[in-house]
Amino acid sequence: MIDSSLQSKDPLEKSTKRIASGFRLPYWLNTFNVGLVMVVILLGLALLAPLLSPFDPNLQNIQDRLLAPDAQHWFGTDRFGRDLFSRVLYGARPTLILVSLVVILTVPIGLIVGICAGYFGGWTERVLMRMTDIVMSLPSLVIALALVSILGPGLMNGALALAFTSWPSFARQARTETLSIRRSDYLSAAKMQGITGWRLIIGHILPLVLPSAIVRAALNLGGIILAAAGLGFLGMGIQPPTAEWGSMVSSGSRVIFDQWWVAAVPGFAILFASLAFNLLGDGLRDKMDPRHDK
């Protein structure tokens, strides 16, 4: 009896639900998955560049300079006659290496500074946070340029320069989160059990602060890719003839009105990479942060 009544109710329920929710995307098509697929494609292309690229990226061929895209040179050639498709593939490598170096440097520094400031409070907090504020108010690309011009251009120095200006946002976030859990009962309970100092910070505070730092890192990566391309564009990144997207755009810009693809192809590569990490970060935030839950 119950069953029949439930069934008679069902169609009405379903139809109202459909109207209320409107057009729905398939469940697997979300920001996180799209971002993840894009990042995996990016990593795959960078790793397999020697297999995938039809030409040596540094092979100059003056006869074939500035060719439009065709069956042989899919993306055309630059002003030294180098194959742009191969160069874009190889160009993914320095970008990804630089970006990972920046993350490896900034996340731990930011977390240590932020957690210490939030946990110890008092003068420790004041000194650390004023330092953070000062670094945060510096114009990041200008400072990075200045640092590179002192240290000399190159991959490692570019990463150091970008890392120097991008850790403060991690520190601020970690401090805010530490403050919010500093007075929590479970930390008080841990202290009452004799757990103090670094044991408390690493075992109890870090696991709660780390997820949002990872999300922020993923979101920041998009910006770091742009900054890395900026350094390359201004000639402060990896030096030619190594393929790098920023410097490729720069050299393409000289012929942008007649042979637009020379600048546009690496430009699109930068767009793709930056978008991939932005989507991934956004999706990660939706997944990990309950406040953004649907």
Q: Which is nearer to another protein, 26 or 207 (CB)?
A: 207
Which stretch in 3-11, 90-98, 110-118, 150-158 sits in contact with another protein by CB under 8 A?
3-11
Structural tokens at position 147: 């640092």
Contact between 2 and another protein per CB under 8 A: yes
What does each C-alpha distance from 169 to 128, 135, 202, 252 come to in angstroms?
A: 13, 10, 20, 34
Q: Which of 280, 290, 212 is nearest to 33 (CA)?
A: 280
Among 51, 207, 258, 291, binds another protein (CB under 8 A): 207
Among 185, 197, 198, 293, binds another protein (CB under 8 A): 185
Among 3, 5, 25, 29, binds another protein (CB under 8 A): 5
Residues composing the chain:
294
Q: Give the list of residues 6+ apart from residue 152 with CB closer than 8 angstroms, or none.
A: none
Structural tokens at position 201: 């910070």
Query: What minimum distance in Å lies between the beta carbon of 133 and another protein?
Result: 20
Which stretch in 32-40, 91-99, 131-139, 203-211 sits in contact with another protein by CB under 8 A?
203-211
* DSSP-assigned letters across all residues of 5-61: HHHHHHHHHHHHHHHHH-S---TT-SHHHHHHHHHHHHHHHHHTHHHH-SS-TT---
Contact between 192 and another protein per CB under 8 A: yes
Cα 225 to the chain's mean position, in Å?
Answer: 7
C-beta of residue 83 within 8 angstroms of C-beta of residue 57:
yes
Contact between 193 and another protein per CB under 8 A: yes
Contact between 6 and another protein per CB under 8 A: yes
Identify residues 208-227 at the interface with another protein (CB under 8 A).
208
Q: How many residues bind another protein (CB under 8 A)?
A: 27
Residue 155 — φ and ψ, nearest 5°? -60, -55
Contact between 63 and another protein per CB under 8 A: no
Question: Distance between CA 41 and CA 217 in Å, rounded?
Answer: 19
Contact between 25 and another protein per CB under 8 A: no
Contact between 184 and another protein per CB under 8 A: yes
Contact between 133 and another protein per CB under 8 A: no
Interface positions with another protein (CB under 8 A): 2, 5-6, 9-10, 12-13, 16-17, 20-21, 184-186, 188-195, 199, 203-204, 207-208
